[in-house]
Amino acid sequence: MNVSRREFIRQTGAAGLAGSVVALGGGSAQASQHAPVSHDWMGVLVDLTKCNGCRRCEAACQQAAGFPFPTPQELEDRSVFESPRRPGPRAYTAVNAARSDGDVRRTYVKLNCMHCNDPACVSACLVGAMRKEANGAVTYNAWKCMGCRYCMVACPFQMPTYEYDNVLTPQVRKCTLCTQPGGQTAAQPPACVQACPKECLLYGKRSDLIDRAHEKIREAPQLYVDHVYGEHEAGGTSWLYLSAVPFEQLGFLDLSSAAPPRMSESIQHGVFKYFIPPIAWVGILGLSMWLTRPEQAESPRDSNAASDSAAPARQNGRTSARKREGASV
């Protein structure tokens, strides 16, 4: 490259400015060491010892979401428990029968989005289609979504599902905690909680539910294992579980208390801190380009001989054009 000193400084300045624009996104949100936990977050405490697998929560959920819902006859059909099911794009929740070792009684486990305190899907989504609402629910905005499915890759619980069948407007589907648009706390508990006849689902403020869960364990230590699943897992979740058998025997994932976004976001924000590192990097490159510039670049005679082959280009282009003409004749 051969540009005059003055011009070079001007250009490098422009490069730094443009670099900062690029870096802007990377550093726009500041990293925090811990995700802020709000007392307004709602949650559901699931007492697995009470569930008898009636699947009315499933039926209510299907109805609330506008999906086809099972008839009473279908609800009676116990054969669905023969193989484990996962929530899908046409079912936000699924109740499975988990047979635990050394226990003749079946334990039923309701699966759905856990609504993490520090959701990996929210951290992952590059256009902010996933959102942690004021009521603690993690919601999805199809209008923003590009359909990259990074949220599905990111989720440690493997809960977001995709409408692969939909050719034009596929959406990510998962439990919304029956949240109305805008993240307002619904006046009523979610449909599944309302439908539960065994009072196995308890809706309330997450902080209150944790207290209640530990209270229950204290009241009946012979009934429960001393573990509230979701209190710490993956940084804590809005859905909390109490169980009579160890959770790993029921297919619950053994997750550390560290929320995945904490590590990745702190690295990313370190690299992009106040956009200084990227700008400095571009600056160093520009500076070394300038400092190591060839001597002849200073002489005005050569100043038009820009990058590799610009100088002979005019003449060269002409000859090649002629050649092509010659070839075409």
Partner 1 sequence: MSHQEMAVPIRAKLFSPGVRPLLVLMAIGIVAAAYRFFFGLRASTNLSQLYPWGIWIIADVSFIAIAAGGFTTAAIAHVFHRHEFHSLARPALITAMLGYTFACVALAADLGRYYNIWHPMLPSMWQGNSALFEVGMCVMCYVTVLYIEFVPVFCERFIGDLRHPLLDRVCSAVHHSANRVMAVFIVLGVGISCLHQSSLGHVMALVPTKLHPLWHSPVLALLFLLSAIAVGFPTVIFACIVGPRSLKLEPDMKTLGRLARYAPVLLSIYLAAKLADMVIRGTFVHLGHVSMQSLFFIVEVAGGVALPIVLLSMRRVRRSPGLLALACLLAMLGVVLNRVNVYWIGYSPPFATHMYFPSLAEWALTVGIVAGIAFLWRALAIWFPVMGVPVRTRAV
Nearer to partner 1, 221 or 312 (CB): 312
3-state secondary structure (DSSP) of residue 107: strand
Distance CA 18, CA 120 (A): 30
Nearer to partner 1, 73 or 315 (CB): 315
Closest CA to 109 of 158, 45, 51: 51
**At closest approach, how far in Å is the CB of 207 from partner 1?**
25
**At closest approach, how far in Å is the CB of 160 from partner 1?**
8
**At closest approach, how far in Å is the CB of 227 from partner 1?**
18
**At closest approach, how far in Å is the CB of 92 from partner 1?**
13
Distance CA 203, CA 284 (A): 56
Nearer to partner 1, 226 or 295 (CB): 295
Nearer to partner 1, 145 or 213 (CB): 145
What's the sign of the alpha-carbon dihedral 179, 181, 182, 184? negative
Nearer to partner 1, 24 or 220 (CB): 24
**At closest approach, how far in Å is the CB of 71 from partner 1?**
26
Distance, CA of 328 to chain centre: 58
What 3 state SS string does 116-168 have?
ECCCHHHHHCCCCCEEECCCCCEEECCCCCCCCCHHHHHCCCCCCEECCCCCC
